[in-house]
Structure formats: structure tokens, C-alpha cells
Amino acid sequence: MATRLVTWNLQGNAGLQVKAVADVVRELAADVLCLQEVQWAQYRALRHELVYEFGHWSFKHWPLRRPPEGHAVLSGAALRVEARTISRRVPPWHWERRIAQIGRVESLSGLVLVNTHLGSGRPAVERAEQIARVLGRARADIVVGDLNEASGAAIDALGGAGLRDAWAEAHGGAECATNWSQSDRSLPPDQRLDWVWVSPAVRVLDAQLGDWRVTAPLSDHVPLAVTLEAATGAAT
């Protein structure tokens, strides 16, 4: 069964236009929605607006002057999700604390899904260590999220673990840009930070980006949507 998965960093600390975000998600026809940088109340409002039957929000950090921030997975099908810390010696109130949501979604044939957001503004080796902790804790079939690099040790580690870049596979190796390096969002995004990686147990059917002209007022990231299905005979 084909499943449409969308990953999106919502930059929730800047506020969330719930109805506008929901319209984008509906346009992308997400069966499974993976979010980063989203506050609990924002997650609840968005889940209600989109009428997802199942969802799970996980705490990442609490900046004290603003509500706690985290990641979320929403789905029309049953899911089981748990969170794991992938940063080291970072207190729970600090924005550099990092987690990964690890779980299984029924519509993805029980394949292991990881939703994460790797460190930014830090040496690339730290992102590599974070993704190594992810891969060490789960036999990941699908890894999604804001990986905070277009190339580097973390990306190399995913490829070295036998995972494939879903966008490149769907578009013949072409690159895509999902994030702005400057605040001027009247121009197309010029960085690639958001990814979907899949194991041999997953077949990629297509991939697309949201319309940046629509999403620019909503977040500094553009949503990435992929359609996936379990490969024939894959173990689950």
C-alpha cells in the first residue's frame, strides 16, 4: 500500500498559522505527517484541524520564556512512537538538546520510522554522532527531518548504512532546496536541510516540495513530501 509522508520543520517558536499550515498539508495529501520545531499546543491544534486520529508529540527542550518545543508524528493509521535523546550533556532547557522519535506506523507496513532534527551551529562531527546514536538504537527503514546539512558526515553515515535519498531517487539524482539561508523569502530557498532516507525495505514512488511561495510566510522551511511503499518481500 502506498503511503504519502510529509516532513516539515514548522519553526513553531515564531508562531503557527494553523489553518494555513493545514491547507498546505491537505494539498500535499499527507497520510503521515512528521513535524519538527512544534510546540505541544500547536501540535494539538493542527491535529484537530486536520482530523488525524492518531498522533504523538515528544518533548525536545523548554526555553522557559516560551512553551516547550518538540517533534510530532500524526497519522490516520495507528502508530507507536517513543523518543530518545541523541545529544549529550545538554540540559532540557537548552535549544541544542536533540531527540529522535522512533516508531512504527500501521500504514507504513510496520516499517521503522525515525523523525529527527540534528544539531545546528555546531561542528559537523556532532551531527554525525547524533545520527550514529539514531542508527544504533533503531533498525531504521525511514529517516526523516531537518538534518541541518546538505552534505557532510551525517549524510555520509546514512548512505554508509545502506539508506537512500528518496528525493534523488525520485528525481534522477537532482538536488532540491528546502530552507532559506537569509531572511528574504521573496526568492526561492537556497539550502537543502530537510531529507527523507529509506532502506532497501522501502520503494520510493515519487517526491515533491510544497510551493515555497505559499509556505514562505509559514516557516523558514519548505515541506518535503514522498510517496512510499514497502518493497515486495521486505521483512517488517
Three-state secondary structure string covering the chain: CCEEEEEEECCHHHCCCHHHHHHHHHHHCCCEEEEEEEEHHHHHHHHHHHCCCEEEEEEEECCCCCCCEEEEEEECCCEEEEEEECCCCCCCCCCCCCEEEEEEEHHHCCCEEEEEECCCCCCHHHHHHHHHHHHHHCCCCEEEEECCCCCCHHHHHHHHCCCEEHHHHHCCCCCCCCECCCCCCCCCCCECCEEEEECCCEEEEEEEECCHHHHCCCCCECCEEEEEEECCCCCC
Alpha-carbon torsion, ordered 156, 104, 115, 16, to 10 deg: 160
C-alpha cell recorded at residue 225: 513530501
The Cβ-side half-sphere exposure at 226, using a 13 Å CA radius, reads 27
- The residue type found at 128 is A
The answer, yes or no, to whether residue 71 has pLDDT greater than 70, is yes
Cα–Cα distance for residue pair 76/87, rounded to 1 Å = 31
Per residue in 29-42, pLDDT tens? Answer: 999 999 999 999 99
Which residue shows C-alpha cell 500547536? 42
Average pLDDT of span 147-165: 96
Cα–Cα distance for residue pair 229/206, rounded to 1 Å = 10
Predicted confidence at residue 236, as pLDDT, reads 42
Average pLDDT of span 164-173: 97
Predicted confidence at residue 182, as pLDDT, reads 81
- The residue type found at 84 is R
The answer, yes or no, to whether residue 234 has pLDDT greater than 60, is no
Average pLDDT of span 208-225: 97
C-alpha distance from residue 165 to each of 5, 9, 67, 179 (Å)? 14, 18, 34, 17
- CATH class label, 3-230: alpha beta
CB count, 10 Å around CB of 180?
A: 20
Predicted confidence at residue 235, as pLDDT, reads 45
Domain ranges of the chain: 3-230
C-alpha cell recorded at residue 151: 552534505
Cα–Cα distance for residue pair 60/81, rounded to 1 Å = 14
Per residue in 132-150, pLDDT tens? Answer: 999 999 899 999 999 999 9
